[in-house]
Amino acid sequence: MSKPMTKTQLVAALAEEMGSDKKSAGAALDAIGALVTREVANGGAVTLPGIGKIFCRARPERQVRNPATGESMTKPADKAVKVTIAKALKDSVNS
């Protein structure tokens, strides 16, 4: 398995793909990140075409176990960010 792409590498590849400079590519990447964060935090969902859907799902209060002590305790309700991968991306990886 190869190492994940760093933000610097992603910005450079995005700039090359866009035919733009790294500064504007970095600004575009930061803007997308901020937009997704804001939308999901407010309970919405964002679909990135060809990549997937990012959304927030509420999890109910539940019983969990502390693995160190074996003690059961109640974990309060919280939210979890979920990503559903697009079929096109799954198909391209598996072909």
Burial of 53 (0-12, 13-18, 19+ CB in 10 A): middle
- Going by C-alpha positions, the residue among 81, 83, 84 that lies closest to residue 56 is 81
Q: Count CB atoms within 10 A of the CB of residue 20.
A: 13
Percentage of residues in the chain with pLDDT exceeding 70?
A: 99
* Residue 32 pLDDT level (bands cut at 50, 70, 90): very high
What are the helix and strand counts (H, E) for the chain? 3, 5
SS3 label, residue 23: helix
Residue 95 has pLDDT above 90, yes or no: no
| pLDDT score for 88 | 92
| pTM for the predicted model, two decimal places | 0.77
| Domain 45-95 annotated CATH 1.10.10.10 | no
pLDDT-based confidence at residue 2 (cuts at 50, 70, 90): confident
